Amino acid sequence: MKILHVLPTVDPQGGGPMEGVRQRGLRLLEMGHRVEIVTLDDPAACFLACFPLPVHALGPSSRGYLYNPRLVPWLMAHARDYDAVVVNGLWQYHGYATWRALTRLGLPYYVFTHGMLDPWFKKTYPLKHLKKWLYWPWAEYRVLRDAAGVLFTSEEERLQARRSFWLYRARERVVAYGTAQPPQDAERLREGFLAAHPQLRGKRIVLFLSRIHEKKGCDLLLQAFAAEAAADPSLHLVMAGPDQGGLQAGLQAQAAAAGIADRVCWPGMLAGDAKWGAFHAAEVFALPSHQENFGIAVAEALGCGLPVLISDKVNIWREIEADGAGIVAPDTLEGTRRSLQQWLALTPLRRAEFRQHATAAFRRRYSVDAMAVSLLGVLDAGNPRPAPNEVTA
């Protein structure tokens, strides 16, 4: 097949949607398929040179909504060159433009929501939700209603999506999601990371690796760590990720006020060997998110044999708990602290069992092979299109 993904950006700081497209695309290439990307990025953006798949960058685009008058004409001219078109994400112009172009052409398209219909956003940002309502009926509602398939990465995500907007029609599909097998030369990667951060050598590392963002529960993790740090002087917390919301300075002040500033490392965004070295150097991965559609970093941690401490707002929490690959708790200070306490109370033998379960869970559920095959199954079945089921949230 020849597949076109439509994204607002392929900037690596964009998080999971971009990474999922990249990982799946590379595996599909190995399987003999062709994958291309059209984005609203500025063609001069430096990160485009590093992206491993063909990219058609049509920017620059307007800020915020990323309106771009070139996207609809480009799709009208080129959409027939592809066997399938997949929109990634909602609430920006790329989805509406795809709807406009492909409905005119009479061609099917698919939408990955990537958790962007989670009702958490409605509760947390009521003013933004009201703004979304202003164009939901004429834009995103139509994008989802007319898609050949609206794709979710877990049953939890599919069910949560129905609660966001009462006007909701979608041909719902749950597909596998995951990432490529991480590099396994753990000793080399670990040593490289520790050489760059010598203060962490010989320490028990709790790793957070995601965006520094309010929905990720960074403040909860810092408070929970501060409460438990006295129990073991060798405990250190690594808070790795891009500071997209401008929160890091406040979090660092929080750590200083709690007396743990010298036990928290802030390496910024990690990529390549530095990222994998952090996973292999850590004892456990922590992500107490208030909302997480999937969490590519969770799958990457499991692929490195690293158990996870996650909240029950990470949509794959049921699978993690069932597989014994981590500890799940509510996205509260009490829950975050309890999961950390439970981990620290484990014997070395039990921690080793968790690591074995983490590796097994990755292979069974979150490999890029499963992800690629699952998507192909949906795209191959794109016609005939079934009648939509109307669901009112």
CATH number, position 314: 3.40.50.2000
pLDDT at 382: 66
Judge whether 389 lies within some domain.
Answer: no
Residue 391, in any domain of the structure:
no
Same domain? 46 vs 116: yes
Same domain, 93 and 44: yes
Q: Could you tell me if residue 132 is inside a domain?
A: yes
CA 24 to chain centre: 13
Q: Is residue 390 part of a domain?
A: no
Domain span at 41? 2-179+370-384
Q: Looking at the structure, tell me whether residues 237 and 360 fall in a common domain.
A: yes
Same domain, 175 and 61: yes
Q: Which residues neighbour 201 within 8 Å (Cβ) at sequence distance 6 or greater? A: 194
Higher pLDDT, 132 or 147: 147
pLDDT tens by residue, 31-65: 999 999 999 999 999 999 999 999 999 999 998 89
Return the DSSP state at 337: H
Residue 392 belongs to a domain: no
The mean per-residue pLDDT over the stretch 130-153 comes to 91
- What is the reported pTM? 0.73
How many CB atoms are located within 10 Å of the residue 18 CB?
A: 25
Coil, strand or helix at 27: helix
Together in a domain, 164 and 206: no
**Contacts with 124 (C-beta within 8 Å, 6 or more apart), sequence order:** 215, 290, 291
Question: What is the average pLDDT value for the chain, to the nearest integer?
Answer: 91
Whether residues 200 and 76 share a domain: the answer is no
Length of the chain: 393
Q: Which residue has the tokens 């408070």?
A: 223
- Both tokens of 178, joined, read 């995951």
Same domain? 165 vs 202: no
Q: What is the DSSP letter of 251?
A: H
Domain count, the chain: 2
Residue 209: Cβ within 10 Å count: 22
Q: Answer whether 16's CB lies under 8 Å from 209's CB.
A: no
Q: Are residues 41 and 75 in the same domain?
A: yes
Same domain for 36 and 96? yes
pLDDT at 387: 41
Residue 107 has pLDDT above 70, yes or no: yes
Same domain, 44 and 136: yes
CA–CA gap between residue 82 and residue 214 (Å, rounded): 39
Structure confidence by residue, pLDDT tens digits, 256-298: 999 999 999 999 999 999 999 999 999 999 999 998 888 889 9
Q: Could you tell me which of 239, 263, 259 has the C-alpha nearest to residue 249?
A: 239
List the structure tokens of 156.
Answer: 């939890």
pLDDT band, residue 385 (cuts 50/70/90):
very low
Residue 352 covered by a domain: yes
In a domain, 393, yes or no: no
- Tell me, what amino acid is at 58? L
Q: Which residue has the tokens 């996207």?
A: 71
222 and 360 in a common domain = yes
Instruction: Give whole-number Cα distances, 32 to 20, 235, 248, 258, in Å.
Output: 18, 47, 43, 54
The pair of three-digit structure tokens given for residue 218, joined into one six-digit string: 């960074």
CA distance 126 to 130: 6
CB 296, CB 19: distance < 8 Å: yes
Structure tokens at 2: 């020849």
The DSSP bridge partners found for residue 84 are 3
Centroid of chain to Cα 337: 24
Mean pLDDT of 173-183: 85
DSSP 289: -
